[in-house]
Structure 1
Amino acid sequence: MATPSDVGRKPAAWGAVLSMALCVALLIASEFMPVSLLTPMAEGLRATEGQTGQAISISGLFAVAASMIITTAAGTLNRKWVLVAMTAVMLLSLVLVAAAPNFGVLMLGRALLGICVGGFWALATAVIMRLVPGSDVPRALALMYGGQAIAAAFAAPIGSYLGGMFGWRAVFWALTPIVAVNLVWHMVALPSLPARQRQDFRTMFGLLKRPYFLRGLAASMLSWGSAFTMFTYLRPFLEQVTDADVTTLSLLLLVLGCAGFVGTWASGRFLSGSVAPLLRLPALLMGGCTLGLLLLGGSAVAAGLFLALWGAMNTTMSVIWMTWMSQNAGDAPEAAGSLMVAAIQASILLGAVVGGMLLDGMTISATFIGSVVLAGIATALIGNGRHLLKPE
């Protein structure tokens, strides 16, 4: 791993950071685009909506697997070309999905996308740590996660609109030239990033033997699990409890997405020094917003205010936890990144499954209560955050 003095002798590669931010936006847009195109995709492929919905879950499953093995499988390969290769695979996956003649080809394309998602996120923080000086890492992470905010705010509504006008395949074809541009940008902007050391599973197991890291990993899983237990089923809540029509629903989702920009800006501007006091903030605030929706969600105005706060903290959560990782597992950033991404992806999947079981077996309110309970457990586990920090 590069020392602060090693990095300090080189200027920050902000062009490379921006290239990674665009890649994040494209990955998020590609991963969740089927949510807004589910019905026409099912009709076009002569599949049920339930089957087509598995196109999202399969990408998540492959993301979990890829995040665990990518740093080991990449061996001593230059990380620049690993990122370039994964972006090329994302391009191939979009082509397969756009041209899919049947459900099987669609699932193959989505599986390839899952590999890109898991692989990219496993390496992303470690790469950012090498592109900028240590003091600029939170700002660079915030900039990269700005791509997530852009995709969250605009991908679904734009995809739904274009899909209605030109068909669902055209939406995926429209993404391909942007990914191609991003591929070229990677090749130009990313500096050479030779592997610092060969990674293996022993490095990951070594991290898991560190009590502070294991506690942090568990706390981050609970935080993301809480968030996605709620977020996955937000639309039925707004339809059933807030009684939102299509226009109101679109506005509320846009408020949530745009608030992510505020969270990205704030985390990049104000996050510095030890993150210990901030670690419980995402679970505490987002859990509080979910509780607020349960109590006052019948009002569209109140729902909008809670969703704005939730959306701002959603992007901030990623920056806070990845900064924690960079500060407390800096001797093995790629192994730590693999574990963090696998834990987050698994908690997202489990949160969606648990939330769905509560929704089907009970009510949408039960799903949101489950989210609040997970947030409470996360907050209690984190405490003041000091026991999640590497010993001095």
Structure 2
Amino acid sequence: MTDATFIETTSRPDAAWGAVMAMALCVALLIASEFMPVSLLTPMAEGLSATEGQTGQAISISGLFAVAASMLITTVAGRLNRKTVLVALTGLMLASLVMVAVAQSFAMLMLARALLGICVGGFWALATAVIMRLVPASEVPRGLSLMYGGQAIAAAFAAPMGSYLGDIIGWRGVFWALVPLVAGNLVWHLVALPSLPARGRQSLGTLIEVLRRPYFARGLIAAMLSWGAAFTMFTYLRPYLETVTRVDVTTLSILLLVLGSAGFIGTWAAGRFVGNNVAAQLKLPALIMGAVTLALIFAGASPVLTGLLLAIWGVMNTAMSVIFMTWMSQNVDDAPEAAGSLMVAAIQLSILLGAVIGGLLLDGFSITATFAGSVLLSAIATALIGSGRRMLKP
């Protein structure tokens, strides 16, 4: 965004751009908090006397509660002011980080991650609708792009910074470092968010009606398989880089930075090229990311080649969200909130299943088996999607 654009948008009296930026920061902190265990998996497992596969379930448990929260938030909190709900969810994120930092047992870690999952699912289920109330209709795309910018920043820097700082201040220190940032974000929400009275309660019947549409159900399953394949691999990337590529902490951080930074390219490219022909693009994430994961199984010993492959994977990882959300907006435009809740639930459930499947394969067999499981899920997703025509509304 140029300076001129920034001045123009922030000067508009009918747009709460400060609140939008507060939500963007919340997104960055949510993503960082949710996936920080990926870059700290090994030391966290050692510190809690657990296996790496068990510690990986810290991501799956947050996904489980995120699924439940995304489906129920608009019903349970339907009559509450949306500002109150967002502030409360941010408070849960703060409590979760403190609990992780002081955790002395695997059970405490799981409880803390469950709280984070409620925050993740609740926030994402409400986020788009809140943005639509903060800015004029013509500015909604800009507001959404700012909010998702927080996701891109976290994806680029959270993992490499986590692994690097974890080696210096310990994994507990990394989570403590996030605490003041989240506390500041909570205060920012209190100050910047206007009052957002509820506009009615979403009916569970609407969710069921949308889910019963065959083309949408197929697309939802395809999304779950695509994200499931991604997180079967991504959750256990650090053990792979340590045991197969055999990198030190510095190189590990560089490779994670390469992967995350490539996400900016994916976001830009998807925003530029994803359009009316979205059907043909639905299979690209699973196809390309699956091929990259397969290549890593055979070519992971070279740090340079691994870095190149991870960059390609990172591009498609961020493009995947834009592709599937564009598909959703074009094909369920009559019930976008219901479809959005179902998409958030499906994605979080796929993250849960990916972490569970990957952890079982890692503990039961090897990291190669984990990556092979990811490739298999990608292949199933690609076959299901096909040309993508069966996922378009009649």
Question: TM-score normalised to the size of structure 1?
Answer: 0.84
Match of 2:24 in 1: 21
Structure 2 distance, partners of 1:131, 1:389, is 31
Conserved in 1, the CA contact under 8 Å of 2:267 and 2:318? yes
Which deviates more from structure 2 when the two are superposed, residues 12-21 or residues 197-206? 12-21
Conserved in 1, the CA contact under 8 Å of 2:56 and 2:235? no
In 2 relative to 1, CA 284–37 (structure 1 residues): closer, same or farther, beyond 3 Å?
A: closer
| Count of residues in correspondence between the two structures | 382
Which deviates more from structure 2 when the two are superposed, residues 239-248 or residues 375-384? 239-248
* DSSP 3-state at the match of 1:198: coil
In 2 relative to 1, CA 212–130 (structure 1 residues): closer, same or farther, beyond 3 Å?
A: farther
| Deviation per residue, 1:287-345 (Å, 9 max, x gap) | 22223323433332222111101101111211222232233333333332222122112
In 2 relative to 1, CA 103–15 (structure 1 residues): closer, same or farther, beyond 3 Å?
A: same
Paired residues for 1:274-313 under 5 Å = 275-313=278-316
- Displacement of 1:63 in angstroms is 1.6
In 2 relative to 1, CA 354–49 (structure 1 residues): closer, same or farther, beyond 3 Å?
A: closer
- Displacement of 1:129 in angstroms is 4.5
Conserved in 2, the CA contact under 8 Å of 1:137 and 1:323? no
Match of 1:83 among 83, 86, 96: 86
Conserved in 2, the CA contact under 8 Å of 1:221 and 1:347? yes
Match of 1:94 in 2: 97
Match of 2:153 in 1: 150
Matched, 1:383 2:386: yes
Amino acid corresponding to residue 220 of structure 2 in structure 1:
L
* DSSP 3-state at the match of 1:288: helix
Matched, 1:67 2:70: yes
Structure 1 distance, partners of 2:55, 2:25, is 27
| Deviation per residue, 1:61-89 (Å, 9 max, x gap) | 22222122112111133333322221122
* DSSP 3-state at the match of 1:378: helix
| Deviation per residue, 1:41-66 (Å, 9 max, x gap) | 5676x654566555443322222221
In 2 relative to 1, CA 34–373 (structure 1 residues): closer, same or farther, beyond 3 Å?
A: closer
Structure 2 distance, partners of 1:339, 1:383, is 22
Structure 2 distance, partners of 1:236, 1:53, is 11
Percentage of matched positions with identical amino acids? 75
* DSSP 3-state at the match of 1:206: helix
- Displacement of 1:132 in angstroms is 5.3
Conserved in 1, the CA contact under 8 Å of 2:56 and 2:359? no
Match of 1:262 among 265, 268, 288: 265
Match of 1:118 in 2: 121
Structure 2 distance, partners of 1:69, 1:173, is 30
Which deviates more from structure 2 when the two are superposed, residues 102-111 or residues 213-222? 102-111
Match of 2:327 in 1: 324
Structure 2 distance, partners of 1:42, 1:283, is 30
Match of 1:357 in 2: 360
Conserved in 1, the CA contact under 8 Å of 2:263 and 2:317? yes
- Displacement of 1:367 in angstroms is 2.9
Conserved in 2, the CA contact under 8 Å of 1:142 and 1:264? no
Structure 1 distance, partners of 2:99, 2:73, is 22
Structure 2 distance, partners of 1:289, 1:136, is 37
Which deviates more from structure 2 when the two are superposed, residues 361-370 or residues 218-227? 361-370
Conserved in 1, the CA contact under 8 Å of 2:60 and 2:353? no
- Displacement of 1:200 in angstroms is 2.8
| Deviation per residue, 1:129-186 (Å, 9 max, x gap) | 4555677656544443332232233223333444444444443332222112222333
Conserved in 1, the CA contact under 8 Å of 2:59 and 2:351? no
In 2 relative to 1, CA 334–362 (structure 1 residues): closer, same or farther, beyond 3 Å?
A: same
Match of 1:5 in 2: none
Amino acid corresponding to residue 383 of structure 1 in structure 2:
G
Structure 2 distance, partners of 1:364, 1:107, is 23
Gaps of 5+ in 1: 1-8
| Deviation per residue, 1:185-207 (Å, 9 max, x gap) | 33444454444431132121111
- Displacement of 1:210 in angstroms is 1.0
Structure 2 distance, partners of 1:292, 1:54, is 26
Which deviates more from structure 2 when the two are superposed, residues 90-99 or residues 216-225? 90-99
| Deviation per residue, 1:213-237 (Å, 9 max, x gap) | 1111011001101111221232333
Once superposed, what is the RMSD of the aligned Cα atoms?
Answer: 3.1
In 2 relative to 1, CA 301–278 (structure 1 residues): closer, same or farther, beyond 3 Å?
A: same
